[in-house]
Amino acid sequence: MNNLRNSVRLIGRLGQSPDVKKLNGGKTLAKCSIATTEVYRNDSGEKVEETQWHNVIAWGKQAEVMEKYVKKGHEVAIEGKLSTRSYTDKEGNKRYATEIVVNELLMLGSKKD
């Protein structure tokens, strides 16, 4: 059960192709966002679609796979952990970002995607 303490699993579609950077020291970083959509019926019986956007980052081999094979609109399954970081924006305000750090990536859909 210790593996479940900080574990996230999502299936969704990429909102844009991954932004991949080669960092000093040879590390590769990929950033993208994934949309997940939940469909349900409200109290009136109307169909409602609710989309959530998730910021995703991948390092090393996972980032290289994303760069080579994954593009905007592709459906993927990811498993990872939540990570929150803080930074200072251009105006000097402290900001926070929560991201999912990918441990595993599975490409879904057809080869045409």
Give the start-to-end residue ranges of the domains of the chain. Answer: 2-107
- pLDDT per residue over 49-100, tens digit each? 999 999 999 999 999 999 999 999 999 999 999 999 999 999 999 999 999 9
Identify the burial level of 111 via C-beta atoms within 10 angstroms of its C-beta, where 0-12 means exposed, 13-18 middle and 19 or more buried: exposed
Q: Which CATH number is 2-107 given? A: 2.40.50.140
Distance between CA atoms of 101 and 81, rounded to whole angstroms?
A: 5
pLDDT of residue 103: 94
pLDDT of residue 32: 96
Above 90 in pLDDT, residue 37? yes
Provide the sign of the torsion angle of the four alpha carbons 49, 53, 54, 57, taken in this order: positive
pLDDT of residue 109: 76
Assess contact for 35 and 15: CB atoms under 8 A.
Answer: yes
Residue that wins the pLDDT comparison between 25 and 35:
35
Assess contact for 48 and 23: CB atoms under 8 A.
Answer: no
Identify residue 26 by its one-letter amino acid code: G
Provide the sign of the torsion angle of the four alpha carbons 73, 67, 105, 33, taken in this order: negative
Q: Average pLDDT of the chain?
A: 92
